[in-house]
Structure 1
Amino acid sequence: MDDERLVAVTGSSGRVGEAVARGLATAGWRVRGGDRAPGPCTQVVGDLRDPRVRQDLVRGAAVVVHAAALHAPHVGVMDDAEFRAVNVDATEALLADAAGGRRFVYISSTSVYGSALVPVDRAVWVDEALAPQPRDIYDETKLAAERLVAAGPLPSVVLRIARCFPEPLPVLATRLLHRAVRLEDVVAAVTGVLTHGTVTGTFTIAGRYPFRRDDCVALHHDAAGLIAVRAPDVAAAFRARGWPLPARLDRVYDSGAATDAFGYRPAEGVLSLLRGE
């Protein structure tokens, strides 16, 4: 019999997995973390390719949140077979072992959109209607895992999260205008999914941006001018620091489907970063 408040989180010693484990615990869930590396949120230490590790992790859990993976920085460092073994084969095995639970949440990446993110004459508006075009082994294996999860034995949610790793402050501030997400918002998305217990599907999870779909041509040709109009406080904050506004933005991620499905509302915009919040 599963414990309806017990969540198994893979990758719980990593940046996203640990944040999710902490956030769910704060929200009142019982969390059991699993990772190859020890960590403060990790109770089961071992490789997910080991059946005993998987079974110890998911035993009795109502929900599995699967964040463990090889990531984009591993491309060219780890061979393709390792990517497939970790990102695809281990996900398939985890799905089988978790089949007695109630839900499966897979942490994917907006990177799966791949070559579809390259603009031609306007910025690309990125939502779930955009067809993924994987461009490397990371994209390929994350998309393959998404498809396994969607076809798996449990009701599932796939969260394609935007860029959320540390970068120099001026770079991160620019990314948060259109294609990055604060880690706190990723945690809020996972928590929102678990709170809305019947939602399923694939969702893009990004930050709070000032743009609209019909801004895409202007973003391609004069992003700085549009930012000054749509977000004058942001433009002023950049000027105060001596940072140039970007002349062109190549894409904008849209989390509207997640907002409609489970109330996701990114709270952490670029101004909160610049204010040190």
Structure 2
Amino acid sequence: MSVVTVTGSSGRVGAAVAETLAAAGWTVQGVDRAPGPWTGVVGDLRDDRTRRAALRDATTVVHAAALHAPHVGRASEVDFRTINVDATAGLLEDAAAAGVRRVVYISSTSVYGDALVPVDRAVWVDESLRPHPRDIYDETKLAAEDLVAASTIGSVTLRIARCFPEPLPVLATHLLHRAVGLDDVATATALAVTSTEVTGTMNIAGPYFFQRSDCPALHVDAPRLIAARAPVVAAAFHSRGWPLPPTIDRVYDSSAAMNALGYRPAWDVLSLLRGR
């Protein structure tokens, strides 16, 4: 295997990706502003020397470093633009000069923004849904996506669903329709790294029980539909005293990644409830 540079390698997603790629035989070259087990270059990607050191001998880049949604209101808009957009532009330019042949960009389903707000039915979120950014995070992640797509380097952008720790009842509810397991994110990224003929933008989420035709019912009476589609899940919520969500506003669809990359998400709400 060759050298893969993983940016944001001390973060939750970056570290998981680095570990998965290393287990698959890649030589991982991590870069982050904070030290970590997978981070060999500690520095800011806005710095030319940091980027070039991180890219040394690399054939592939996984770009996960960014300011994220929780930073909105805590970091300035200038920082969001310089870190999420300008540093991405510099990284892509330096990667092309260094002979990098593949870039996998870790984006977020958050870029859909206000397009996720339902009107009379749950929103079925596949890649045909036009993003409508609602804050500086969404704007800058979408701008970085555009830079990646316009690069001369073959690339895949993965819009990953929610995948951070939450209280169990909240996480269980989100795993019904809008969250994803961290292991599945790492696996999807590894697939995108090795599927060198695949390009484009894909959602990474699921697996879920619902179908597009369920969207009107999910908006009106989600518990009834959950009980019909997944009675074991409904019973598990009931036995724990957790309420089922009265309405579900969106369902993420990962079919494009399943078809193009062979992505098969394994960690669902039943995995959580069974303690897997």
Q: TM-score band (shorter)?
A: over 0.9
Q: How does 1:1-277 map to 2 (within 5 A)?
A: 5-99=2-96, 100-277=99-276
The amino acid that maps onto 2:39 is T
Deviation at 1:153, TM superposition (A): 1.9
The letter of the residue matching 1:265 is R
CA contact (8 A) 1:88 1:145 kept: yes
Counterpart-to-counterpart distance in 2, 1:78 and 1:102: 33
Instruction: Give me the whole-angstrom Cα distance separating, in 1, the residues matched to 2:111 and 2:158.
Output: 11
Cα distance, 1:233 vs. partner?
A: 1.0
Equivalent residues of 1:161, 1:204 under 8 A apart: yes
Cα distance in 2 for residues equivalent to 1:245 and 1:44: 45
The amino acid of 2:55's aligned partner reads: V
What RMSD, in angstroms, separates the aligned Cα atoms of the two structures?
0.7
Query: Which deviations, in whole Å up to 9, do the C-alpha atoms of 1:93-136 show, x marking residues without a partner?
Result: 00011111110010000000000000000000001000000000
Give the whole-Å Cα distance in 2 for the aligned partners of 1:109 and 1:64.
17
Q: Secondary structure at the match of 1:43?
A: strand
Provide the C-alpha distance between the structure 2 equivalents of 1:28 and 1:226, rounded to a whole number of angstroms: 44
Which amino acid in the other structure matches residue 249 of structure 1? I
Give the structure-1-normalised TM-score. Answer: 0.98
**In structure 1, C-alpha distance between the alignment counterparts of 2:257 and 2:176, rounded to whole Å:** 19
The DSSP-based 3-state class of the residue aligned with 1:59 is: coil
Q: Which amino acid aligns with 1:220?
A: H
- Amino acid in the other structure paired with 2:19: R
Query: What is the SS of the residue equivalent to 1:31?
Result: strand
Give the counterpart letter for 2:129 in structure 1.
L
Q: Distance in 1 between matches of 2:2 and 2:271?
A: 32
Q: Is the 8 A contact 1:96 1:153 kept in 2?
A: no
Poorly superposed stretches of 4+, deviation over 3 Å:
none
Offset at 1:197? 1.8
2 CA distance for matches of 1:140 and 1:194?
25
Shift of 1:195: 2.5
What CA deviation, in whole Å up to 9, does each residue of 1:175-196 have, x standing for no partner?
Answer: 0000000100000101111232
SS at match of 2:2: strand
Structure 2 Cα separation of the partners of residues 113 and 187 of structure 1: 22
1:28 is displaced (CA, Å) by 1.4
Determine helix, strand or coil for the equivalent of 1:244: coil
Deviations 1:32-51 (Å, cap 9, x if unpaired)? 10000000110000000111
Taking the aligned partners of 1:183 and 1:213, their CA distance within structure 2 comes to: 25
What is the identity, as a one-letter code, of the residue corresponding to 1:129?
A: S
In the alignment, the residues of structure 2 paired with residue 201 and residue 258 of structure 1 have an alpha-carbon distance, to the nearest angstrom, of 10
- Cα distance in 2 for partners of 1:203, 1:27 equals 22
Q: Deviations over 1:240-262 (max 9, x none)?
A: 11111111000000000000101
Consecutive unaligned residues of structure 1, counting only runs of 5 or more, are none
Structure 2 CA distance, aligned partners of 1:194 and 1:84? 26
CA distance in 1: counterparts of 2:89 and 2:220, whole angstroms: 44
Secondary structure at 1:98's aligned position in 2? helix
Q: SS of 1:93's equivalent? A: helix
- Secondary structure at the aligned position of 2:221 is classed as helix
